[in-house]
Structure 1
């Protein structure tokens, strides 16, 4: 399920949830659901950022090896 989201989609949904919570528009009963969803979205964003960072490191290493 996590793979179907792009980083941008997950980040935008996360921003929406944070805005709703900060504005006080979230009912107490719904707060736990929103927090759980936000946690899942943070996990998606972190995984995508980590994967991107690893890919960049591989590319930089490859470029450095080609230089030598």
Structure 2
């Protein structure tokens, strides 16, 4: 059973892929797959960050409404 993807797991995997590419330890045969996976992880992280930001803004607005600020 695969673990649910979290921002932290995605970021960690992305860092590992970047390290592999930077040190040229990725064979040319699988480079395209690694780059595609990195692209998917970046999209996931960006979506997660936007969602979290929207939720935080919503909570702050609710707090301001409740305190009359």
TM-score, normalized by the shorter chain, greater than 0.5: yes
**Larger proportion of helix:** 1
Q: What residue ranges of structure 1 are gaps of 5+ in the alignment?
A: none
Alignment length, in residue pairs? 65
TM-score between both structures, scaled by the size of structure 2:
0.91
Q: Which digits, 9 at most, give the CA deviation of each residue in 1:8-64, with x for residues without a partner?
A: 000000000000000000111111000000000001101110110000000000011
TM-score in terms of structure 1 length: 0.92
Alignment of 1:4-19 (within 5 A): 4-19=4-19
Runs of 4+ off more than 3 Å: none
Structure 2: segments with no counterpart, 5+ residues: none
- Root-mean-square deviation (Å): 0.6
CA distance in 2, matches of 1:6, 1:47: 11
Distance 1:6 1:36 in 2: 18
